[in-house]
Amino acid sequence: MNTAVHRAPAAPAPAINLARRRDLFSSDIAMTALKQSFMMLRPDVQWKNPVMFVVEIGAALTLLYIIQSALGFSSSSVSLTYFIALDIWLWLTVLFANFATAIAEERGKAQAETLRKTRVATPAYRLRANGTTETVSSIALKVGDKVVVEASQVIPGDGDVIEGGAVVNEAAITGESAPVIREAGGDRSGVTGGTTVLSDRIVVRISAGPGESFLDKMIALVEGARRQRTPNEIALTLVLTAFTLIFMIVVVPLWPMATNAEVYMTSYLGLSDQLRSLGTDVPTLIALIVCLIPTTIGALLSAIGIAGMDRALRANIIAKSGKAVEVAGDIDTVLLDKTGTITLGDRHAREFIPLGQVSQLELMYLSALASVSDQTPEGKSIVAAYTQAEGLTAPVAAPEGSVFVPFTAQSRMSGVNLPDDTAIRKGAPDAIVRYVVGLKGVVPRELDGVVAKVGARGATPLVVAQNARVLGVIALEDVLKPGIKERMDQLKLMGLRTVMITGDNPLTAQAIAHEAGIDDFIAEATPEKKLAYLRNEQAQGKLVAMMGDGTNDAPTLAQADVGLAMNSGTQAAKEAGNMVDLDSDPTKLIEVVAIGKQLLMTRGALTTFSIANDVAKYFAIVPAMFAGTLPWLKAIDVMNLHSPTSAILSAVIFNALIIPLLIPIALKGVKYRPLGADSLLRRNLLIWGLGGVIVPFIGIKAIDLVMVALRLVA
């Protein structure tokens, strides 16, 4: 079992996280994003987003049509201002989409920038082969270089401590002000560039060249430049492209169909010049295509993906790929370390079982005496238990002249020698038995039974003896973190199977697992056992997430679908995992899963919303298109819009405005609630599906009313 620096209960939010304080749209970010939106109008950039590319082409064609009309080469039944207004809104649609992507990128960049500040070039003291040092810039460091870092110096790059140990302040990365210990050998050897050594001297072997460290990788991911689309995103883009194609198939034949209506009505009325409707009007048909194709989700798709990475970063998790974050949402099984995640990391005296003639209070008192100078949590808890039982206000004090016997690995017990030659010892059962037998004492027959019973319920038995007399047994139990059971219930609702990893024996493990509501456990865990368990889960088709920090965790981290390495862990562990937690907080795994789920949910919800929106747009546009030839279709215009042109403009404006209105949701993500898939589905279907059908009816009508009130439409 690894013993990393588990900084016990997770702080609610790291304090110094600058980016977290930034507003959603701080003005400088918005300005840069705005500029960026215009830059992104370049067709070769738009091409990557098929839905918006279609809109851009439509806007360009409308512009051509306007020029043509202005020059008098084509005529229409409606005025040129309608086409100009239409075209402006088509361009705005593209710009809004660009803005959504740009603002997500800018926010990601700003987030990355705060991290990058830690990466400015610092002087490094490179160790030469002959033992002397030379001063170089941190940028010039290569993988394998050894550098010396002394107190109050900044560590120049990611690496492993290979010599010495030091107290390091990692606030620059984690935002956590409490310093941590990093030392050579063991699982706490990993250091991150940009953190500061507070004391002592260490030698660090650099493990990442300039521009290749985790932070650099993460920065590239949020900046979008090297962002690779995840499998789900690819599938969704494909579906959106297919929908775009479908709607073009729907709209293009409307042109000849509208011609059919025009020709027929002209001949029915016996007119000499053909009746015209908007149905044969190219810009109107383009407007219909733009309204129908899933522009809302098409515009927000990249932003959602970037924002997902960004959310991970805000939680101080560095994901090595977008896919890793997405896979987190699919996790079926989480392997959780007992210590730090489920229990507080120390044991408390829960019960005192006196043996023979000894009274309970006597046992407690003598145990407390033996523990007065024992500064371990167990010892403190024994003293506290006695104080509480007696209702004392002052702490127990041993009589003057007492000599304390500290715990050693050889004796496996500790205690006190009182001035009156009484020796009190507490320790592991076999150690105390040996001690008592050595003093020719008699071990009570019931001891074995009591010890076994205490062990059976998952507690650790501690036997207390006074000289050659066994007084009784103290049951030390793990203390669960507050609220852990509720947390585990939530995880179950999220569809996760929880597995506890512990170095305890199976009995103890089972008791704790049962108490915390955990599904399964790996007791007396070794890296091999963990790996075997994980492989077995994966063979059943499950996706497994785990957290680890030691070098011996590396194979398991690499095998896991989500391997979250602690930043405090070794370089090997960090290389093997696909995410690194800068806070080294073992409860982070749960947060990672929620972030992954939120990412997928946001995409699904906005896609559903986007498609459901189309229904209302039909009711606005179809009657308007045929007002010139089949005026009776007005009956299906349930919104009773002002005029054909205002109906079409309202639909296009709604279609454009909904994009910036949904940017906050795309960036923040749809709120994930651990409700279980079915109630979550019901909820989201109602909000985004049914809501998606209803909202545009209201929105389009409102826009129409506003335009009429402002006398903007004929």
Specify binding-site residues for ATP.
374, 378, 407-414, 426
User: Between residues 76 and 387, which has the closer beta carbon with respect to other proteins?
Assistant: 76
Token pair in block for residue 274:
């053909």
534-593 binders of other proteins (CB under 8 A): 540-543
Distance CA 90, CA 104 (A): 22
* Smallest distance from other proteins to CB 127, Å: 48
Distance CA 303, CA 282 (A): 31
> Which stretch in 95-103, 262-270, 438-446, 506-514 sits in contact with other proteins by CB under 8 A?
262-270
Known binding positions for Mg(2+) = 549, 553
User: Between residues 447 and 545, which has the closer beta carbon with respect to other proteins?
Assistant: 545
> Which stretch in 37-45, 264-272, 366-374, 582-590 sits in contact with other proteins by CB under 8 A?
264-272
* Smallest distance from other proteins to CB 630, Å: 5
Token pair 């789900």: residue: 232
User: Between residues 459 and 595, which has the closer beta carbon with respect to other proteins?
Assistant: 595
Distance CA 423, CA 378 (A): 20
Strands lying side by side in the sheet with 544-548: 317-319, 579-581, 562-566, 544-548, 333-337, 497-501, 520-522
Token pair 């030390």: residue: 476
Distance CA 358, CA 696 (A): 79
Q: Pick one of 605, 639, 651, 700: the residue that binds other proteins (CB under 8 A).
A: 605
Known binding positions = 374, 378, 407-414, 426, 549, 553
From the list 582, 128, 160, 577, the residue with the least C-alpha distance to 335 is: 577
Distance CA 114, CA 19 (A): 7
**Length of the chain as a residue count:** 714
Distance CA 474, CA 622 (A): 81
Distance CA 273, CA 652 (A): 30
Residue 479 CB neighbours (<10 A): 15
Q: Pick one of 55, 275, 484, 648: the residue that binds other proteins (CB under 8 A).
A: 275
* Smallest distance from other proteins to CB 330, Å: 5
Distance CA 117, CA 172 (A): 9
User: Is residue 254 close enough to count as binding other proteins by CB under 8 A?
Assistant: yes
Residue 374 sits at φ, ψ, to 5 deg, of -85, 110
User: Between residues 346 and 637, which has the closer beta carbon with respect to other proteins?
Assistant: 637
User: Is residue 234 close enough to count as binding other proteins by CB under 8 A?
Assistant: yes
Distance CA 339, CA 608 (A): 42
Active site residue 187: no
- Asked if 218 and 212 count as a contact pair (C-beta separation under 8 A), the reply is no
> Which stretch in 59-67, 92-100, 171-179, 674-682 sits in contact with other proteins by CB under 8 A?
674-682
Burial group, residue 138, by CB count within 10 angstroms (0-12, 13-18, 19+): buried
Distance CA 682, CA 460 (A): 47
110, β-bridge pairs = none
SS3 content of the chain, % helix, strand, coil (to 5): 55, 15, 30
User: Is residue 435 close enough to count as binding other proteins by CB under 8 A?
Assistant: no
Q: Pick one of 375, 400, 410, 632: the residue that binds other proteins (CB under 8 A).
A: 632
Distance CA 351, CA 334 (A): 32
User: Is residue 665 close enough to count as binding other proteins by CB under 8 A?
Assistant: no
**Among the options 145, 158, 187, 337, which is catalytic?**
337
User: Between residues 249 and 709, which has the closer beta carbon with respect to other proteins?
Assistant: 249
> Which stretch in 62-70, 339-347, 436-444, 686-694 sits in contact with other proteins by CB under 8 A?
686-694
User: Is residue 597 close enough to count as binding other proteins by CB under 8 A?
Assistant: yes
* Smallest distance from other proteins to CB 563, Å: 18
User: Is residue 298 close enough to count as binding other proteins by CB under 8 A?
Assistant: no
Token pair 């405090």: residue: 568
Q: Pick one of 108, 165, 429, 596: the residue that binds other proteins (CB under 8 A).
A: 596
> Which stretch in 210-218, 349-357, 366-374, 627-635 sits in contact with other proteins by CB under 8 A?
627-635
Q: Which residues contact 483 (CB under 8 A, 6 or more apart)?
A: none
User: Between residues 317 and 601, which has the closer beta carbon with respect to other proteins?
Assistant: 601
User: Is residue 268 close enough to count as binding other proteins by CB under 8 A?
Assistant: yes
* Per-residue contact flags (x/-) with other proteins for residues 308 to 337, judged by CB under 8 A: ------------------x--xx-x-----
Q: Which residues contact 553 (CB under 8 A, 6 or more apart)?
A: 2, 527, 530, 565, 569, 573, 576
User: Between residues 15 and 677, which has the closer beta carbon with respect to other proteins?
Assistant: 677
User: Is residue 250 close enough to count as binding other proteins by CB under 8 A?
Assistant: yes
- Asked if 311 and 598 count as a contact pair (C-beta separation under 8 A), the reply is yes
User: Between residues 242 and 712, which has the closer beta carbon with respect to other proteins?
Assistant: 242
* Smallest distance from other proteins to CB 568, Å: 30
* Per-residue contact flags (x/-) with other proteins for residues 191 to 220, judged by CB under 8 A: ------------------------------
Q: Which residues contact 469 (CB under 8 A, 6 or more apart)?
A: 356, 436, 441
Q: Pick one of 114, 453, 684, 705: the residue that binds other proteins (CB under 8 A).
A: 684
Q: Pick one of 67, 151, 238, 661: the residue that binds other proteins (CB under 8 A).
A: 238
User: Is residue 350 close enough to count as binding other proteins by CB under 8 A?
Assistant: no
457-516 binders of other proteins (CB under 8 A): 492-497
* Per-residue contact flags (x/-) with other proteins for residues 128 to 167, judged by CB under 8 A: ----------------------------------------
Q: Pick one of 415, 550, 623, 696: the residue that binds other proteins (CB under 8 A).
A: 623
Distance CA 537, CA 519 (A): 13
Token pair 């981290």: residue: 557
Q: Pick one of 209, 506, 604, 691: the residue that binds other proteins (CB under 8 A).
A: 604
User: Is residue 80 close enough to count as binding other proteins by CB under 8 A?
Assistant: no
* Smallest distance from other proteins to CB 684, Å: 4
State the amino acid at position 364 in one-letter form: M
Token pair in block for residue 171:
């606030």
Q: Pick one of 93, 584, 629, 645: the residue that binds other proteins (CB under 8 A).
A: 629
User: Is residue 630 close enough to count as binding other proteins by CB under 8 A?
Assistant: yes
First CA to last CA distance, the chain? 77
Distance CA 436, CA 356 (A): 15
* Smallest distance from other proteins to CB 242, Å: 4
> Which stretch in 350-358, 395-403, 421-429, 671-679 sits in contact with other proteins by CB under 8 A?
671-679
User: Between residues 377 and 689, which has the closer beta carbon with respect to other proteins?
Assistant: 689
DSSP for 188-232? Answer: --EE-TT-EEEESEEEEEE-S-TT-SHHHHHHHHHHSTTPPPPHH
* Smallest distance from other proteins to CB 85, Å: 20
* Smallest distance from other proteins to CB 686, Å: 10
From the list 533, 530, 535, the residue with the least C-alpha distance to 548 is: 530
Q: Which residues are part of the catalytic machinery?
A: 337
